[in-house]
Structure 1
Amino acid sequence: MQGGSTGIVYGGLKYQARCIADVRADPEHTSFLAGTLSLKEENEVHLIRLSPSGTELVCEGLFYHPTEIWDLKSCPFNPRIFSTVFTSGETHGASIWEIPELYGQTNAPQLEQLVSLDEHAFKIKCILWWPLGKHDRLVSIDEGNLFVWNIDSSNKTAKVISQESVGMLHTLSGGSWDPHDQNTVAAICDSSLQCWDLRTMKKVNSIEQAHVRDVDYNPKKQHILVTAEDETGMHIWDLRMPKVPLSELPGHAHWTWAVQHNPEYDQLILSAGTDSAVNLWFASIGDRKNSTRESLVDSPRRQADQLINSYSDYEDSVYGLAWSSREPTVFASLSYDGRVVLESIKPYLQKL
């Protein structure tokens, strides 16, 4: 099914962009952060908010960022704090930033750099915040290492608690922190997905022969995650049986770049791709009433996995996806040309 141009469009990003994040810690507004990726211009972070009428996206804050933003995450417990991974020429880095308190009363407010994560010798790929509530630990992944940090934003300090290398023959490119277990991170490594125990910094599980671009844990069901893969679309996995996927979804006409479970309706999955589309999928993995510890394999499939809608409001590749945790019936997407589109899934909730 092809969707029409029904979304709310924000066109305020002047430069190319890949990164958008839900501001989960803002209980009052449906808001997002988006960061640009300009090689020659001074880059920007936009605080974008859905208007009280729900009819437009407005820029609540515009902040200058000195370098190209390749990864952006909002702090899950403080709406004014976020992280970026950035590059400038041959240099690369990662920092934690704070939006100034009076950001709406000045023309060009400067972000305050709370912490710089300076221990990385390899190119940094992403930062992972513990997904639920306040947590002083943070994970960063570069091409060769996993780092666990202790972050003290009030004292502006970052200390490496532990670090582990994947070895010279392997390359890390991203990951996801298990919302059901604060000691487990899934890391994307070459042609596999590796689960790491952060207490021992050892690999405890892996999915082999999976050329993964993105991964996201199911927020409601333990052991379940979805991967976006180069040539085979999307796979849904039960980590207790990692040899064969539970389900397969075709993904996109070109590369499937990003994938995210809905924070509330976990059978709904969004994917974005370089075919200039965002797809909404229904994936019938078990029943929501089942205990998360029960095996999901024997649960009857109420409905076949299917493509519910394809949003085609874009003229460029879509790299950024963000469900609103405050209003889980809406999501924002970001295409490479800097176009942000907010869509509602309310018409499709009867599919559940």
Structure 2
Amino acid sequence: MFAAAGGASVSSYQLPNKQARVLVALEGDTDRTRFVVGSTELKGDNEVHVLQFNEDTNEVVCLKAFAHPNEVWSCATCPAPEHAELMCTTYSTGSELKTSLWRMTGVAAAAAAETSTGPPPLSQLDELAQLGAAPLGEHLGVIWNAVLPEQIVELCRNRLSLVTLAHGAVSSSTAESAATAPPIEGKSFSCARWDPHHAHSLGVGCGGALLSIDTRSMKLAHTVAEAHSQRVRAVDYNPNKPYVVLSCGDDYAIRYWDLRKPSDALLSVKAHSHWTTSACYNRFHDQLVLSSGTDYLVKLWRAESVSSAPPAVDAEEPENPDGEADGLVKAFEDHDTSVFAVAWSAADAWIFASLSLDGKTVINHVPPAEKYKILL
């Protein structure tokens, strides 16, 4: 059901009687703030909801609700505007994990109602292709290449595959073009992210290591052997500085790296008091980073010293006189259970969403004071 949270800058949406772990921005829509949420209900029917946030009214409404087979464990939306209705999900059938390519028919044309008392009637997803299957616990999801949207990577713990997509008027086709096993003996893949600066470069977590792979040859390009003392949970590339990435892991930390100088982290932060489940750069202002954890918290960080933000140029004042170049901007305490996903809006640099296990999606803003520090 729709719910407006207290406070002037927060609103929330509750999946009806559903648990959830999957939240992503609708990547192909850069005009409106839209997110996709998928449920992981073991004993009930599962759904995918497309949410829209209206900044003028501070409301979040469900534009479309789709029936979905089984629990949604991963989701990726197409970054190409002309194919914004395409989505890949990885889901459990009870005996294995499968991945399918779907069309969310009607999303592009859907307009938010002025008032909403809950999600609309369930629609059916159009399945365009099945991409693969793996044993339970093995398939980790799909990573869509924003530079070459016809390319995706299917990521499993013991294999990653490069797949080429071709879209027609009523159907799509897929073709695997390359694959590789984990390059570190005894370790498995855990996460991946395409490099926005190099179309054929993929950042990968493998055990506690951070790697980059050239997908043309499937050979290692860079290695940070001991990026984390435990499993790497997420990797993200700085959108403005080539070769600079962040990683987060089960050791509670976020670390920033220059892949060309892997011996030492550029910056390391103990981000949460338990597992750091996700971390990602702001799409436009790379000094801002979001993270979430199983400590129920969402945190907004400032990492100015390792960003592309220009340093202070006033010779009469020291740079960052208050020692605020790096550090915590704000901890958001809007969730009552573990937070498994955060995502920046694809349309607005200052809006982000978070999702907790109880199916609650919260929309928040970068605090005005931090926003104007960047803009002024």
Question: TM-score, length-normalised on structure 1?
Answer: 0.90
Q: Aligned letter for 2:195?
A: D
Checking the alignment, whether the CA contact within 8 Å between 1:253 and 1:275 is kept in structure 2 is: yes
Counterpart selection for 1:159 from 154, 175, 182: 175
Determine helix, strand or coil for the equivalent of 2:255: strand
Can you list the C-alpha shifts for 1:161-219, whole angstroms capped at 9, x where unaligned? 11112267221111111111111111111121121110101112111122311111111
Tell me what 1:219 maps to. 239
Can you list the C-alpha shifts for 1:85-143, whole angstroms capped at 9, x where unaligned? 111222111111101238869833210111211265782102111124x5211111101
Please state if 1:247 is matched with 2:267: yes
Tell me what 1:185 maps to. 202
Please state if 1:8 is matched with 2:3: no
Checking the alignment, whether the CA contact within 8 Å between 2:234 and 2:247 is kept in structure 1 is: yes
Q: Aligned letter for 1:305?
A: D
- The 5-angstrom pairing of residues 225-244 of structure 1 reads 225-244=245-264
Report how far residue 284 of structure 1 moved: 1.7
Counterpart selection for 1:327 from 338, 341, 348: 348
Checking the alignment, whether the CA contact within 8 Å between 1:191 and 1:208 is kept in structure 2 is: yes
Tell me what 1:59 maps to. 62
Q: Aligned letter for 1:138?
A: I
Report how far residue 280 of structure 1 moved: 0.4
Report how far residue 276 of structure 1 moved: 0.4
Q: Aligned letter for 1:165?
A: A
Query: Is 277-286 or 55-64 further displaced after alignment?
Result: 277-286
Query: Is 210-219 or 301-310 further displaced after alignment?
Result: 301-310
C-alpha distance in 2 between matches for 1:121 and 1:276 = 30
Checking the alignment, whether the CA contact within 8 Å between 1:138 and 1:148 is kept in structure 2 is: yes
Report how far residue 24 of structure 1 moved: 2.1
Q: 1:311 to 1:52 in 2, by over 3 A?
A: closer
C-alpha distance in 2 between matches for 1:242 and 1:267 = 21
Checking the alignment, whether the CA contact within 8 Å between 1:94 and 1:116 is kept in structure 2 is: yes
Q: 1:301 to 1:213 in 2, by over 3 A?
A: farther
Report how far residue 232 of structure 1 moved: 4.6
Checking the alignment, whether the CA contact within 8 Å between 1:13 and 1:36 is kept in structure 2 is: no
Checking the alignment, whether the CA contact within 8 Å between 2:96 and 2:135 is kept in structure 1 is: no
C-alpha distance in 2 between matches for 1:248 and 1:88 = 39
Checking the alignment, whether the CA contact within 8 Å between 2:202 and 2:214 is kept in structure 1 is: yes
Paired-residue identity, %? 29
Determine helix, strand or coil for the equivalent of 1:350: helix
C-alpha distance in 2 between matches for 1:153 and 1:142 = 24
Q: Which runs of 5+ in 1 are unaligned?
A: 291-299
Tell me what 1:19 maps to. 22
C-alpha distance in 2 between matches for 1:270 and 1:289 = 17
Report how far residue 52 of structure 1 moved: 6.3
Determine helix, strand or coil for the equivalent of 1:349: helix
Checking the alignment, whether the CA contact within 8 Å between 2:96 and 2:134 is kept in structure 1 is: no
Tell me what 2:142 maps to. 127
Determine helix, strand or coil for the equivalent of 2:49: strand
Determine helix, strand or coil for the equivalent of 2:347: coil
Checking the alignment, whether the CA contact within 8 Å between 1:216 and 1:227 is kept in structure 2 is: yes
Q: Aligned letter for 1:217?
A: Y
Tell me what 2:372 maps to. 350
Tell me what 2:361 maps to. 340
Query: Is 194-203 or 153-162 further displaced after alignment?
Result: 153-162
Checking the alignment, whether the CA contact within 8 Å between 1:267 and 1:283 is kept in structure 2 is: yes
Q: 1:23 to 1:301 in 2, by over 3 A?
A: farther
Determine helix, strand or coil for the equivalent of 1:285: helix
Deviation above 4 Å: which 4+ runs of structure 1?
Answer: 102-106, 119-122, 300-303
Give the RMSD, CA atoms, in angstroms.
2.2
- The 5-angstrom pairing of residues 1-352 of structure 1 reads 6-51=9-54, 53-77=56-80, 78-101=83-106, 107-118=121-132, 123-132=138-147, 135-154=149-168, 155-166=171-182, 169-209=186-226, 210=228, 211=230, 212-286=232-306, 288=308, 302=320, 303-347=324-368, 348-352=370-374
Q: 1:60 to 1:181 in 2, by over 3 A?
A: same
Determine helix, strand or coil for the equivalent of 2:132: coil
Checking the alignment, whether the CA contact within 8 Å between 1:80 and 1:98 is kept in structure 2 is: yes
Checking the alignment, whether the CA contact within 8 Å between 2:305 and 2:325 is kept in structure 1 is: no
Determine helix, strand or coil for the equivalent of 1:118: strand
Can you list the C-alpha shifts for 1:22-73, whole angstroms capped at 9, x where unaligned? 1121243211100000111111000100136341100100001111111111
Checking the alignment, whether the CA contact within 8 Å between 1:259 and 1:269 is kept in structure 2 is: yes
Higher-RCO chain (CA-CA 8 Å, sequence separation at least 6): 1
Checking the alignment, whether the CA contact within 8 Å between 1:37 and 1:70 is kept in structure 2 is: yes
Question: TM-score, length-normalised on structure 2?
Answer: 0.85
Checking the alignment, whether the CA contact within 8 Å between 2:247 and 2:255 is kept in structure 1 is: yes
